[in-house]
Structure 1
Amino acid sequence: MSLAIESRSPRLAVLIDADNTSAKIADGLFEEIAKIGEASVRRIYGDFSSTRMKSWADILAKHAIIPQQQFAYTSGKNASDITLVIDAMDLLHSGRFDGFCLVSSDSDFTRLASRIREHGIDVFGFGEQKTPESFRQACRRFIYTENLLQAASGGQPRPDAAKKPLVEPKEAIPILRKAVEQVVEQLESGDGWVLLGSVGKSLANLAPDFDSRTYGFRKLIDLVRDIGTFDVDHAEGKAPRIKLKSATESKRRSGGRR
């Protein structure tokens, strides 16, 4: 009798810098990580004897996060960062993990992210929009924690999420255009039509922090439709395709909005 072998989700090590991360994102954080793989290790670093860490201390049990206590013996010295880096390297060399989730807005972890990726292991960064570009670019993918803020009940996105995007949708046009042009060149698409899925992969390589939610949309296709720079072909039962509008079409559309 043969037994079916169930494929295992990627095993992830989640390391959280409590000094640079708000506890408010915890629910959204682990929901997002669950889309990537299994959070096998969940550790958080900070001085939990401090009153400002109470918000984290109150939710550690809910998400089975193991606190790594680091007392602040000396002002200006961050023992938590050093401990996180040491643990990350130990976990990396154990060879048991398919990816790391580094949760911080601190650029000090840029070299750590680069070092892990040099071993062929994926790094997923989570931090605020203010996170320096060096850290964002060092990750395979970087998710803004502002996009993870969720309502207390039901895990639904904040009602004002669509009304107040972090960045105006039109700001996505240059990177979307570059991604489409890159795919067209790679596939030598004579008519300019490319699969939206291929554009998404190109975006991930061009800008690790690209996320349609940053522009107020859950899905990439909705963002593309809204900005009006691309033609969209989404026939029923088929994968969506997009194409850059001609200069004449774009000019006509912008003129109609005035």
Structure 2
Amino acid sequence: MSPTGKDRFAVLIDADDAQAAVCEELLAEIAKLGIASIKRAYGDWTTSNLTPWKEPLLHHGIQPIQQFRYTQGKNATDSALIIDAMDLLYAGNVEGFCLVSSDSDFTRLATRLRESGMRVHGFGEAKTPQPFVSACDSFLHTECLRREPDTPAVAKPSSKSPVVKKPPSKPPAETVTLVKPTKAQRQLRSHILNALNELPQTDGWTALSALGSYLKKKMPGFTPADHGASKLGGVIQQLEYLDKWQRPVKGGSVHLYVRKKARETAKAS
């Protein structure tokens, strides 16, 4: 660990595969994990398709690593990144790695680094193959980092023209539409219910922190943003098959606890 008490990370970016547009948000996420003491981006910088990376490299102090394409159709960038990662592993100057790519070729690298006691956090697009996602301690889809476009301002009615109020129309008849849960929602439900069976409980309740650690191990690619929330607690509050208990603690804060609703317990028995 560094003298500051924070973990040091080597941020290795496959620039041929990653998007420069999310670089600032990406580094902000990494800053939550620790210190990005090494920042390198790999690619053939003689090609025009990497031009968007020029400004982020200069602004964030990322070192570009030149890797020529010796053979057409072969990606030498992957090999250069893997070799450097192993050199950094044996140098012993970092506590973890942040691998920025959607390429499954880095699956074995992530596994090897973790076998050596390194923490590995992956960052890639939603198209990233599951083996690479599962090989990392955590995996964040970069689509979650893209800024939402500014909402256009709504024009106010001119003071010169009178505003005519229309009488309220008769509300349409209420219809009920059954929405089938998505695959991601079904997977999350399965893991949460399994967790509540396996994790220690206090009077039948499971702490949100314990549930979060369980999900992190079972679903490395899980992010609350994929379920419409910024934090796990927000996701849990939306789930109708769980009871929630906010337990007050010293300092005026609260800890969230959850348990299966009675009907879920009855289904399992």
- TM-score by structure 1 length? 0.83
For the aligned residue pairs, the C-alpha RMSD in angstroms reads 2.5
For residues 135 and 174 of structure 1, the distance between their equivalents in structure 2, rounded to whole angstroms, comes to 18
Matched with 1:18 is 15
For residues 240 and 183 of structure 2, the distance between their equivalents in structure 1, rounded to whole angstroms, comes to 9
Q: Per the alignment, in what secondary structure is the counterpart of residue 61 of structure 1?
A: helix
Matched with 1:62 is 59
Shift of 1:70: 1.3
Amino acid in the other structure paired with 2:233 = I
Structure 1 residues 36, 248: closer, same or farther in 2, change over 3 A?
closer
Structure 1 residues 248, 124: closer, same or farther in 2, change over 3 A?
closer
Matched with 1:247 is 263
**Aligned pair 1:223/2:239, yes or no?**
no
Contact 2:241–2:264 (Cα < 8 Å) also in 1: no
Q: Aligned to 1:52, which of 49, 52, 55?
A: 49
For residues 170 and 112 of structure 1, the distance between their equivalents in structure 2, rounded to whole angstroms, comes to 28
For residues 38 and 266 of structure 2, the distance between their equivalents in structure 1, rounded to whole angstroms, comes to 49
Contact 1:184–1:194 (Cα < 8 Å) also in 2: no
Q: Any stretches of 5+ residues in structure 1 without a counterpart? A: 152-157, 161-167, 252-258
Length, aligned pairs only:
233
- TM-score by structure 2 length? 0.80
**Aligned pair 1:181/2:194, yes or no?**
yes
Structure 1 residues 22, 250: closer, same or farther in 2, change over 3 A?
farther
**1:14-67 C-alpha deviation (Å, 9 max, x unpaired):** 000011101011011001000100000000000111111110112211111000
For residues 28 and 69 of structure 1, the distance between their equivalents in structure 2, rounded to whole angstroms, comes to 24
For residues 189 and 198 of structure 2, the distance between their equivalents in structure 1, rounded to whole angstroms, comes to 14
For residues 102 and 186 of structure 2, the distance between their equivalents in structure 1, rounded to whole angstroms, comes to 26
Q: Which has the larger radius of gyration?
A: 2
Q: Aligned to 1:195, which of 197, 202, 207?
A: 207
Q: Per the alignment, in what secondary structure is the counterpart of residue 109 of structure 1?
A: helix
Q: Per the alignment, in what secondary structure is the counterpart of residue 112 of structure 1?
A: helix
Aligned 1:96-175 pairs, distance under 5 A:
96-150=93-147, 171-175=184-188
Q: Per the alignment, in what secondary structure is the counterpart of residue 123 of structure 1?
A: strand
Q: Per the alignment, in what secondary structure is the counterpart of residue 41 of structure 1?
A: strand
Q: Per the alignment, in what secondary structure is the counterpart of residue 188 of structure 2?
A: helix
Q: Per the alignment, in what secondary structure is the counterpart of residue 36 of structure 2?
A: strand
Contact 1:141–1:204 (Cα < 8 Å) also in 2: yes
Q: Any stretches of 5+ residues in structure 2 without a counterpart? A: 152-180
**Aligned pair 1:79/2:76, yes or no?**
yes
For residues 94 and 195 of structure 2, the distance between their equivalents in structure 1, rounded to whole angstroms, comes to 32
Matched with 2:154 is none
Q: Per the alignment, in what secondary structure is the counterpart of residue 58 of structure 1?
A: helix
Q: Per the alignment, in what secondary structure is the counterpart of residue 20 of structure 1?
A: coil
Matched with 1:214 is 226
Contact 2:196–2:259 (Cα < 8 Å) also in 1: no
Shift of 1:145: 0.6
Structure 1 residues 28, 221: closer, same or farther in 2, change over 3 A?
same
Shift of 1:181: 3.4
Runs (4 or more) in structure 1 with deviation over 4 Å come to 248-251
Shift of 1:170: 8.3
Contact 1:212–1:219 (Cα < 8 Å) also in 2: yes
